[in-house]
Each structure stands twice: as structure tokens, then as C-alpha cells.
Amino acid sequence: MRHAHRVEVVRAAEAELMARLPEGTLMRRAATGLAVTCARLLTRRRGRVYGSRVVVLAGSGDNGGDALYAGAELARRGARVTAVLLAPGRAHGGGLAALRAAHGRVVVEQEIGLADFSCADLVLDGIVGIGGRGGLRPEAEPYARAARTGPVVAVDVPSGVDADTGEVAGAALRADVTVCFGTYKPGLLIDPGASYAGAVQLVGIGLELPPAGVVALQHADVAALLPVPGAESDKYRRGVVGVAAGSARYPGAALLAVAGALRGGAGAVRYVGTAAEEVVRGFPETLVTEGGPAGAGRVQAWVVGPGGGEGADRALAEALAADVPVLVDADGLTELARLGPGALAGRTAPTLLTPHTGEAARLLAGAGGDGGTRSEQARPPAADELAAARLATARRLAAAYRATVLLKGSTTVVADPPPASGRGYPHGAVRVNPTGTAWLATAGSGDVLAGLAGSLLAAGLSAPDAAAVAAYLHGLAARRTAAVPGAPVTASEVAAALPAVWNDVRAGEAPEPRSRTSGGTGT
Ligand SMILES: NC(=O)C1=CN([C@@H]2O[C@H](COP(=O)(O)OP(=O)(O)OC[C@H]3O[C@@H](n4cnc5c(N)ncnc54)[C@H](OP(=O)(O)O)[C@@H]3O)[C@@H](O)[C@H]2O)[C@@H](O)CC1
Ligand SMILES: [K+]
């Protein structure tokens, strides 16, 4: 599992450790780790470090200090290192002295800096790290836009990305690799920040940290959560998932949700709705009923809403009345937004909401802007604003509806409501999905995800586990399905790829690292 901590938590751990160590130890550890990565990249690119052109963009804080010390280490190995000072007169004294002692060059003119930046074999972005406030300052913005030939290595966090949230106010440096220290930062795992970070490498510096506020599951974590039938299992013990989906207008949504549900580990899928005939034709193993959830018989979890059309209100009401976990998606969410959080107030079983940002905007508007404080919000939030602040959006929704929320899109985020009393990690941690691909933003992909997550709920996973595991498998399936890496995928193909992905995860086959251009788990 990747653990990410907020800046204030990192600062506290740093202070505690620094008090016990000789001055400069942490920065030396950080700079050494950084230089090792840079040397490896240069060797891959040019065959050696010696003679390569390295540019260090150095701001006024310790982030610039890390970059300058790493630059000095590369200069000692024969690299031609130029430091561009973005805040001349305020650069890190020790780092600058080390670079000069290693015969590095120092410039302050922006024109020279930009020319060197564009033709460098490698750039170190040490403009600003976890001490940054606001977006990039004007003197740094040209570097975010300039052409370049070599890779950019961000020091701790790409400059311009908010380390705590992944929000980007204006421009930010686009890195190929980010070397972070002590712990991941939430902004490196959540878009838009994650898409600026490239491949993220963690350098341990000895910090002792409390449980993380944000985590990203990896293969082993997901493998440990997958439901596996025991020798005594029957279909009811494995869990029956009820799917109330599809309508005369959208029968395909029923098929896709059932396809996802059949591959999520539940023992049986029970379908209710108007597309029963099509569902049985497509998946004869499905149990079908033509009414609503109330008369459908025993289930351990409901999925309600995909393609539900005009029948979604009844399906939602009947599903919510059942004392089992309920996943609400698509038209079910539109209906829930109309009803507001009060519709969930009496529930004791878990509720999992799976909105994209457009649905999230409707839900927040339905909750009065921010969980009952409509007056604070002059207008309903716009979907693109919510997408830019994914962590905050998921948390707001979870708090407003007191339900687990899986916010879909570029980096899927799963948030639990704040604890009523002292409930801590792992439930309290927000889970972010590392396997997404922008190709998942395709019709029907959300229906598959809803069925899959509902099936995992029925199999006994908690709402946040079911959501995080479903997002993980769904993203991997889309990556695996593309005949050519990066080619378009369809929702049916994603569903069909789920068994193979399930096997990959159990076999421990690592996913491809996220590329700089890949998106998230959009649906
Ligand atoms: N934590 C750890 O364990 C370890 C941390 N380490 C390293 O230290 C880094 C944190 O260093 P830090 O605290 O000096 O802050 P940092 O990110 O350099 O920025 C602050 C400076 O920038 C300025 N500034 C502010 N906003 C700005 C903006 N938008 N654009 C431009 N400038 C801006 C602000 O000055 P201002 O102009 O606002 O007066 C201030 O001078 C951390 O990311 C990691 O790399 C490792 O060495 C070892 C272990
Ligand atoms: K940086």
C-alpha cells in the first residue's frame, strides 16, 4: 500500500527526527536519493553521467537546497550542472556553496535559464516543495510552458502542485519522475497533481509517521481482499447481489451491470427490472424478477440505478428500505440528489454512492451545497470545479450523505464519512485508485463498475474495500483489454477482462507504472 501524509504531519515527524540527528542529515539523505535517481536516468539516456547537461531550478527554500546538493553530487561525477536561481539572493546557502565547490555554474537571468532548460539532458525541479503556497509565481511560469528535450525530475512534489490535495492553481512543472521524501504526498496520487508527477519514487529518510490519511492500494492489498469461496461455500454464503438496473430506453446498462456483478465474486446475481429477457439471453445464470427490489427475494447487497430511467425512484426507495448494503449509481443518484441526504438517514447498513463529478455536483446541490449549508454556496458547484478538487469533493459528499463515496473520473477517490467517534485507519483513510486509464471514460463502463462493486459488497467486503477493489480491478481490466497499449476499450471488453485481471492480482503480477499521459478511472 502506498501511504500519503499531509504536509503538517510530515513537518511534525521531520521536527521530531531532526531534533535527534546532526543538522543537515535529512537533507543529505534526501539529496543522495535524488542524485541516485538522476544518475540512473542520465545513464539510461546518455550512457553515463559524465559530460551530461543538468539544469537545477532552485527556489528559495529547502526544496531548492535538496536540488542544489543533488546537482553538486552530479557535478562531482562530471556532469555539467547549471543552477538557475529563481529567487536570487535567497537560495539555500549550503546547497549553493556545495554546487560552486563542485564547479557548477550559477545563473539568474531568465533567458539563459530558459535556453539551458530546453536543451538539458535532465532538469531538477527544486523551485518549491511542501512549503509552497498558491500556484507557480510569475518568474517560474515560463518553465512550465517551455519546450524541453530531457526529462524533468521533480524534487518532492512538482512545483505548482498542491502537496495536500493535488490541486493545481494555474501552471505547474510537468515531471517525468518525482522523487519524494519520507512519505508520498496526497497530491502525488490524486489528479490533476498525479498527472504532473510522472512515475513517483519514494526515498526513505527515517521519518516515523502516524497512519496515513490517504492510501493507494497495490496488488498485494487487493489480492488479500478478494473474496475466495471456502470448501463449505454455497451461493448464499458467497453472497447474492441484486441488480436493479436498465430500462426500456437503456437495456444495455442492465446487461453491463450484471456482467460486472457476475465477475465480482458473489455466488449469484439476481436481476430486477424491465430488461429481464435481455439479461437472461445474455447471461442465463442470472436469477430474474420483473418487479422491484422489494419482491425479489433474498440478497446480501443491492446495486440500484444504472440506466434505471423512470423506474429509478421506486427501485431506489425499495432498495434503501432493505437492511443490506446498497450501492447507488447513475439514475439512482439523480433521484437521491432530488431527495437529499435525508433519504439515507434511517439506514444502518452501509450505503455506497458512485457518482462522476456531474452527479457529485447534483448530489451536493441536493444536500444544500455542503451538507446542509446551502447559504454558504451562492450557486451549485460546477462539475469541472469538483473534478479539480477531487479529494475535497469526495470528502464533502461522504460527510453530507454519511455514506461511502466512490468519486469516479481521472483518479477515482473513495472516501468514508468522518467518524462519529474515534474510528481511525484503515476506514478513515481515503483510498485513491492507481490503476485508472482515461479510456475508461466510455459509455457503460460505470455500469460494469457498479455491478462489480455491488458483487464485492454482497461477498462481504466493507463499502470502502468493495469500492477500492472494484476501481482497482476495473482500471486494470481496461489496461489489459486494450489490444494495443493506450487503444480505446469498450465496457463489454472491460467486463470480459475481469477474470484475467483477478488472476493477475492473485498471482501478484504488477501493473504497468502509470505513464505521464495516462488519465484515471474515468467512467
Ligand atoms: N519535510 C522533510 O522531512 C524534509 C524536507 N526536505 C525538503 O524540504 C522541502 C520543504 O522545504 P521548505 O520548508 O523550505 O519549503 P519549500 O518547499 O522549499 O518552499 C518554501 C519556500 O518557497 C517560497 N515559496 C512559497 N510558495 C512559493 C511558490 N508558490 N512559488 C515559489 N516560491 C514559493 C517561500 O518563500 P516566500 O517567498 O514565500 O517568502 C519559501 O522560501 C521539502 O519539499 C523537501 O524538498 C528534505 O530536505 C529533507 C526532509
Ligand atoms: K519541486
Q: What are the residue boundaries of the structural domains of the chain, listed by start?
A: 2-215, 219-507
129 is in an annotated binding site: yes
Q: Which residues contact 306 (CB under 8 A, 6 or more apart)?
A: 243, 245, 246, 250, 253, 254, 256, 257, 329, 330, 331, 332, 446, 447, 450, 451
Q: Which three cell numbers stand for residue 429?
A: 483513510
The closest residue, in CA terms, to atom 24 on ligand 1 is 132
412 is in an annotated binding site: yes
Atom of ligand 1 nearest to the CA of 26: 48
Ligand 1 surroundings by CB, under 6 angstroms: 10, 14, 26-27, 30, 59-64, 66, 127-134, 136-137, 155-156, 181-182, 205, 207
The closest residue, in CA terms, to atom 13 on ligand 1 is 131
Instruction: Compute the distance from residue 27 Cα to the ligand 1 centre, in Å.
Output: 12
DSSP labels for 286-332? -EEESS-GGGS---SEEEE-TT-GGGHHHHHHHHHHSSS-EEE-HHH
* Spans of the chain, pLDDT less than 50: 370-377, 422-427, 513-523
In whole angstroms, how far apart are CA 338 and each of 141, 238, 331, 343, 467? 43, 34, 11, 10, 24
* Mutate-to-test residue for ligand 1 from 20, 28, 128, 143, highest number of ligand atoms within 8 A of CB: 128
Sign of dihedral through CA atoms 194, 122, 218, 448?
positive
The closest residue, in CA terms, to atom 28 on ligand 1 is 132
125 is in an annotated binding site: yes
285-320: buried (b, 16+ CB within 10 Å) or exposed (e) per residue? ebbbbeebbeebeebbbbbbbbbbbebbbbbbbbbb
329 is in an annotated binding site: no
Instruction: Compute the distance from residue 64 Cα to the ligand 2 centre, in Å.
Output: 8
103 is in an annotated binding site: no
Residue 77's region, left for phi above 0, alpha for psi from -120 to 50, else beta, is alpha
CATH code for 2-215?
A: 3.40.50.10260
Give, for 458, the enclosing helix (H) or strand (E).
Answer: helix 445-458
Atom of ligand 1 nearest to the CA of 157: 43
The closest residue, in CA terms, to atom 19 on ligand 1 is 131
* Mutate-to-test residue for ligand 1 from 130, 139, 153, 207, highest number of ligand atoms within 8 A of CB: 130
* Mutate-to-test residue for ligand 1 from 10, 62, 125, 207, highest number of ligand atoms within 8 A of CB: 62
Mapped onto helix, strand or coil, the DSSP state of residue 269 is strand
Which ligand approaches the C-alpha of residue 136 most closely? Answer: 1
246 is in an annotated binding site: no
503 is in an annotated binding site: no
Whether the predicted model's global pTM rises above the 0.90 cut:
yes
Instruction: Compute the distance from residue 435 Cα to the ligand 2 centre, in Å.
Output: 25
The closest residue, in CA terms, to atom 15 on ligand 1 is 131
Within 10 angstroms of residue 341's Cβ, the number of other Cβ atoms is 20
134 is in an annotated binding site: yes
* Mutate-to-test residue for ligand 1 from 8, 17, 63, highest number of ligand atoms within 8 A of CB: 63
* Beta strand residue intervals within 305-411, DSSP E: 326-328, 351-353, 404-407
With 0-12 / 13-18 / 19 or more C-beta atoms within 10 angstroms meaning exposed / middle / buried, residue 283 is middle
In whole angstroms, how far apart are CA 454 and each of 76, 259, 369, 507, 508? 57, 12, 28, 24, 24
The closest residue, in CA terms, to atom 44 on ligand 1 is 63
Atom of ligand 1 nearest to the CA of 134: 29
Atom of ligand 1 nearest to the CA of 31: 47
The closest residue, in CA terms, to atom 37 on ligand 1 is 60
Interval 241-275: pLDDT, tens: 999 999 888 899 999 999 999 999 899 999 999 99
3-state SS of 202-256 is EECCCCCCCCCCEEECCHHHHHHHCCCCCCCCCHHHHCEEEEECCCCCCHHHHHH
CATH code for 219-507?
A: 3.40.1190.20
Cβ atoms 207, 183 nearer than 8 A:
yes
71-94: buried (b, 16+ CB within 10 Å) or exposed (e) per residue? bbbbbbbebbbbbbbbbeeebbeb
